[in-house]
Amino acid sequence: MSDTSTPNTDASDAPQALPGDGLREGIVDDLRNRIGDHLLEFHIVPNDDLFVRVASDAWVETGAALKAAGFTWFGFLSAIDWMPSPYGKGEEDPTVPKEPIDMTIKQGICGGETRMQVFARLTDIDRHVGITIKADVPDPADGESPVMDSWTGLFAGANWHERECHEMFGIGFNGHPDLRNMYLPGDFEGHPLKKDFPLLARMVKPWPGIVDVEPMPEQDEPDTDAPAADPDAGSTDASSTPEGEES
């Protein structure tokens, strides 16, 4: 028997419209006017926050456009590795058998099409509004490193952040003046914040929280068989001074 029921088109089933946020909507419109189709995606949290995703080759252009629009305060720059860790969660007990790990990449707000993204935070201090800018890091060819263009020509503060991002995620930055390691030895192999970097300490014992607390060094127990100390020993009281001697 075929289904002849009429679909429910009641207005109550329609998606609820979010309250407007003219300030952030205007910022999105202005950015679109400045960079055109390089603005790929945006997400507004009404009266709270704004996220945009831009084309990888427009990363520097976007920073310059936002700076010209009043976003002159550089907050930070970093990266996201969206790939699930093949080693599971660090706090899991390594002695307990694990279920197979789902390695499907599931990205969050304004996530893109590649494993890694760079993202930065800028603020317009006059309008008291911030924006998070994201861009996909192109997946590199075998044997090569992922590369983005540097923001150091726009914001001096990006220098330190790009160095850390290069060291921890292995992302290069074209135009950066000095991508030396800051934390690790220069000959260190690997990038510790990539999800497929093996953190051996977490594979040897549970980490953190359920790891056993190391016992304190053993302390000598007090000797209960030793004679009690004379409370008057060493006293300089006059009553203990032998006759004929002055205290």
pLDDT for residue 99 is more than 90:
no
What is the mean pLDDT of the segment spanning 173-198?
Answer: 86
pLDDT at residue 202, rounded to an integer: 57
pLDDT at residue 135, rounded to an integer: 98
What is the mean pLDDT of the segment spanning 111-128?
Answer: 95
pLDDT at residue 90, rounded to an integer: 61
Per DSSP, which regions of the chain are E strands? 39-45, 49-54, 73-81, 116-124, 129-137, 147-149, 172-174
Q: 234: pLDDT confidence band, cut at 50, 70 and 90?
A: low
The residues spanned by each domain of the chain are 20-203
Give me the architecture of the 20-203 domain, per CATH: 2-Layer Sandwich (3.30)
